C-alpha cells in the first residue's frame, strides 16, 4: 500500500489565527469569555440574527447544554435521526430521556419529515433534526409538526453554519441549535462549538449552566456585585486562545465558504457523468436550500463497493471514509430498543456512502488526482 498523500482532512490556517493567539497571550486574557470570545459571539449573532450565542468546548457540549435547558425527565422521548453522530442522541440520554430513532429521506439524507408524526407519543418532548452535510431539513414541515404537538426543536447544525433553508439561516428555526468547530468542520479551533439561542427566555439559564451553575456572567457584566451557585451546571466555555483561532476563521468566512463551494462544485461537475453511468448517487441539494459545502459524498449501488472503493483510493494514496453507522443498530442503540429494519433508508445509505476529502487547503492538483482516481474505479 502506498503512503497516504491526500488526507481526508487537513487543518488549515486561513488568516490571522496565530496573530490572534499571540494577541490573546499579550493582553493577558486566555481563559474563557475574553475579548475574542466576545468577538465570535457578536459576529455569529449579527450574521445569523440570533438572540444569543455562547461558544462551547465542543458541538457535543452545545447539544448537552441544549438538552439540559429543556428540563427533561426520565422517560421523556426525543426524536433524533438514526443517521447522525452519537452526540445528537447521547446529549439527551444524559438527561434521562429516551432517543426515538427516525429514518432519513433518500435524497438529502435529512430527517424524513413525512414519517415524523408517526413517532410522536404522549412522552415526546423534543425533535432534534440534523442538517446533514449542511443541507437544510424540511424545516417548514418540521416546525409545523412541532408547533401542533407542542414540542421543542433543537437543531443539530454541526455541519451547516451559513447554510440556508428558504432564505433563512440554519440554526435559527428551533429554540436552540448547536454548532461544531471541530477540526473537520468548515470553521474550526480544533475542538469547539456554540449554542445558538433563539428563545431569549433560555439565555440567562444557559449562561449559568455554562459557568458551573453560577451567575458569574452577570457578575462579569457588573450586574451583581458577587457571584454564587444558583443552579446545576458545568464548565462549557472554551479558552480565549481557542476563540482567537476561531475568530480569525469566522472573519474570513466568505473566503473559506467560497473555497469550499468551489471544491464541492468541481467534484459535482467532474463526477456527474461518471456517477450517472455507474448508478452512483451524488449529493442532492433542493432548489430552496443553500448548503454550506461541508461535505461531498458518493452513494454506491451495492454495499460491497463501499469497502472496495475506500481500498482502491487508499492504494492511490487518498483517504476516503464512510460516515455514520446507524445509531439504532449500535450496541447502545440496541440497548435502547433499536431493531434491524427500523430505519431502512439509514441502513441502506450507511452501507454505501463514502465521503471524499474536502478541506480548505485541498489544492486543485490534489482534487484532479482524486477525481482521476475515482474514474479508474471499475467493478
Ligand atoms: C451531526 C453532528 N453533531 C454533533 C457533532 C459533535 O460535534 P463535536 O465533535 O464538536 O463535539 C458532530 C461531529 O462531527 C456531528 O457530525
Domain boundaries, the chain: 17-251, 253-375
Name the grid cell of 172.
435559527
Q: How far apart are CA 21 and CA 16, in angstroms?
A: 9
Atom 10 of ligand 1: nearest residue by CA position: 59
Q: How far apart are CA 206 and CA 116, in angstroms?
A: 28
Whether this prediction's pTM lies above 0.95 is answered by yes
CATH topology of domain 253-375: 3.90.1150
Using one digit for the tens of pLDDT, what is the confidence trace for 248-299?
999 999 999 999 999 999 999 999 999 999 999 999 999 999 999 999 999 9
Helical axes 35-48 vs 17-27, angle rounded to 10°: 130
Strands 297-299 and 353-355 turn out to be antiparallel
- From 52, 81, 84, select the one nearest 69 (Cα to Cα): 52
Q: What is the pLDDT at residue 1?
A: 45
Q: How far is the CA of 232 from the centre of ligand 1 (A)?
A: 24
Pick the atom of ligand 1 nearest to 84's CA: 1
Helix/strand/coil for 154: strand
List, chain by chain if needed, residues with CB within 6 Å of any ligand 1 atom: 58-60, 84-85, 87-88, 130, 156, 158-159, 180, 182, 193
Q: How far is the CA of 252 from the centre of ligand 1 (A)?
A: 22
- Give the sheet arrangement for strand 77-81, strand by strand: 52-56, 193-197, 176-180, 152-156, 124-127, 77-81, 98-102
So what CATH class is 17-251?
alpha beta
Question: How many other CB atoms sit within 10 Å of the CB of residue 327?
Answer: 26
Q: How far is the CA of 244 from the centre of ligand 1 (A)?
A: 21
Using one digit for the tens of pLDDT, what is the confidence trace for 222-249?
999 999 999 999 999 999 999 999 999 9
83, 158, 188, 353, best to mutate for ligand 1 pocket (most atoms within 8 Å of CB)? 158
Q: How far apart are CA 10 and CA 117, in angstroms?
A: 41
- For residue 165, pLDDT over 90 is answered with yes
Mean pLDDT for the stretch of residues 80-98: 98
Question: How many other CB atoms sit within 10 Å of the CB of residue 205?
Answer: 17
Atom 14 of ligand 1: nearest residue by CA position: 85
Atom 7 of ligand 1: nearest residue by CA position: 59
Amino acid at each position: 500500500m502506498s503512503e497516504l498523500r491526500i488526507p481526508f482532512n487537513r487543518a488549515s490556517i486561513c488568516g490571522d489565527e496565530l496573530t490572534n493567539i499571540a494577541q490573546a497571550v499579550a493582553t493577558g486574557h486566555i481563559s474563557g469569555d475574553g475579548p475574542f470570545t466576545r468577538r465570535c459571539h457578536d459576529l455569529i449573532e449579527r450574521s445569523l440574527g440570533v438572540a444569543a450565542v455562547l461558544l462551547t468546548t465542543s458541538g457535543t457540549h452545545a447539544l448537552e447544554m441544549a438538552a439540559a435547558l429543556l428540563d427533561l425527565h426520565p422517560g421523556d422521548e426525543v426524536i433524533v435521526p438514526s443517521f447522525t453522530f452519537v452526540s445528537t442522541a447521547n446529549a439527551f440520554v444524559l438527561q434521562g430521556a429516551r432517543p426515538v430513532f427516525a429514518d432519513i429521506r433518500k435524497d438529502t439524507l435529512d430527517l424524513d419529515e413525512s414519517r415524523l408524526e408517526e413517532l410522536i407519543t404522549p412522552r415526546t418532548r423534543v425533535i432534534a433534526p440534523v442538517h446533514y452535510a449542511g443541507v437544510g431539513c424540511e424545516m417548514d414541515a418540521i416546525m409545523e409538526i412541532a408547533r401542533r404537538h407542542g414540542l421543542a426543536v433543537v437543531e443539530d447544525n454541526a455541519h451547516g453554519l451559513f447554510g440556508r433553508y428558504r432564505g433563512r439561516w440554519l440554526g435559527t428555526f428551533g429554540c436552540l441549535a448547536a454548532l461544531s468547530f471541530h477540526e473537520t468542520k468548515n470553521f474550526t479551533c480544533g475542538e469547539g462549538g456554540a449554542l445558538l439561542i433563539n428563545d431569549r427566555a433560555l439565555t440567562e439559564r444557559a449562561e449559568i449552566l455554562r459557568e458551573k451553575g453560577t451567575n458569574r456572567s452577570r457578575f462579569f457584566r457588573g450586574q451583581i456585585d458577587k457571584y454564587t451557585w444558583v443552579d446545576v451546571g458545568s464548565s462549557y466555555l472554551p479558552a480565549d486562545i481557542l476563540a482567537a483561532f476561531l475568530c480569525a476563521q469566522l472573519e474570513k468566512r466568505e473566503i473559506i465558504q467560497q473555497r469550499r463551494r468551489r471544491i464541492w462544485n468541481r467534484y459535482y461537475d467532474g463526477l456527474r457523468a461518471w456517477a450517472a453511468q455507474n448508478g452512483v448517487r451524488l449529493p442532492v441539494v433542493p432548489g430552496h436550500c443553500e448548503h454550506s459545502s461541508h461535505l461531498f459524498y458518493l452513494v454506491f449501488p451495492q454495499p460491497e463497493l463501499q469497502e472496495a472503493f475506500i481500498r482502491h483510493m487508499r492504494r492511490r494514496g487518498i483517504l476516503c471514509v464512510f460516515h455514520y453507522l446507524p445509531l439504532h443498530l449500535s450496541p447502545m442503540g440496541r440497548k435502547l430498543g433499536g431493531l434491524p429494519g427500523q430505519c431502512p433508508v439509514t441502513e441502506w445509505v450507511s452501507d454505501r456512502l463514502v465521503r471524499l476529502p474536502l478541506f480548505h487547503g485541498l489544492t486543485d492538483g490534489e482534487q484532479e488526482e482524486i477525481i482521476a482516481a475515482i474514474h479508474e474505479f471499475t467493478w
